[in-house]
């Protein structure tokens, strides 16, 4: 018997994490969400995992397309994080005003992010209310400068140096 959802949320709020925007396309239209459930899986081949709530449109879009990109946000992208997290309900098109490009798969890669990984889904696992997607990284790039956007205790944070 596990703990209740609120107790779990409370403990997980104390785990500091980076912030990403996971993107894909569905029927030629870009879709994406803010995600902090992201980790590296292996080096050879290079693989990462993301966890996406099954209720979200992006979950179905990744299943349909078979690919996704992970865009790692810098502190200057906090507003993007809020928009893609659905915290700005007045924003109908999350990609409005953003410049993006594609690499190998067709997943949108946002200009000026700290780093990005373009991935083909190699595995999708049932994680109860989430799907755990493992993606093989087929293209990537990173900036040499920048400060990461962090999420801790239900707030956006910056590294103290």
pLDDT tier for residue 2 given thresholds of 50, 70 and 90: confident
- 78 secondary structure, DSSP code: H
Cα–Cα distance between 139 and 137 in angstroms, integer?
6
* Predicted local confidence at residue 161, as pLDDT: 66
Cα–Cα distance between 13 and 75 in angstroms, integer?
19
- 74 secondary structure, DSSP code: B
* Predicted local confidence at residue 160, as pLDDT: 81
* Predicted local confidence at residue 44, as pLDDT: 97
Asked if the peptide bond before residue 45 counts as cis, ω within 30 degrees of 0, the response is yes
Q: Is the pLDDT of residue 24 over 70?
A: yes
Average pLDDT, the chain: 95
Cα–Cα distance between 6 and 4 in angstroms, integer?
6
- Average pLDDT, stretch 24-37? 95
Q: Name 8's bridge partners.
A: none
Which residues have CB under 8 Å from 145's CB, separation 6+? none
Residue-wise pLDDT tens digits, 109-119:
999 999 999 99
| Residue 160: burial class (beta carbons within 10 Å; 0-12, 13-18, 19+) | exposed
Residue-wise pLDDT tens digits, 35-78:
999 999 999 999 999 999 999 999 999 999 999 999 999 999 99
Q: Is the pLDDT of residue 148 over 90?
A: yes
pLDDT tier for residue 1 given thresholds of 50, 70 and 90: confident
Token digits for 118? 């373009």
Full set of structural domains in the chain with CATH: 5-155 (2.30.110.10)
- Average pLDDT, stretch 20-24? 98
């Amino acid at each position: 018997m596990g703990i209740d959802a609120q107790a779990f949320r409370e403990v997980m709020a104390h785990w500091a994490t980076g912030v990403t925007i996971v993107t894909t396309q569905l029927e030629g239209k870009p879709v994406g969400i803010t995600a902090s459930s992201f980790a590296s899986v292996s080096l050879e081949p290079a693989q990462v995992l993301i966890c996406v709530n099954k209720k979200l449109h992006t979950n179905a879009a990744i299943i349909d397309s078979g690919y996704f990109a992970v865009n790692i946000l810098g502190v200057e992208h906090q507003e993007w994080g809020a928009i893609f997290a659905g915290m700005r309900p007045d924003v109908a098109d999350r990609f409005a005003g953003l410049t993006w490009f594609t690499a190998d798969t067709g997943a949108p890669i946002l200009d000026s992010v700290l780093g990005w990984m373009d991935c083909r889904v190699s595995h999708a696992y049932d994680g109860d209310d989430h799907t755990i997607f493992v993606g093989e990284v087929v293209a990537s790039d990173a900036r040499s400068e920048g400060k990461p956007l962090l999420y801790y205790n239900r707030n956006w944070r910056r590294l103290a140096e």
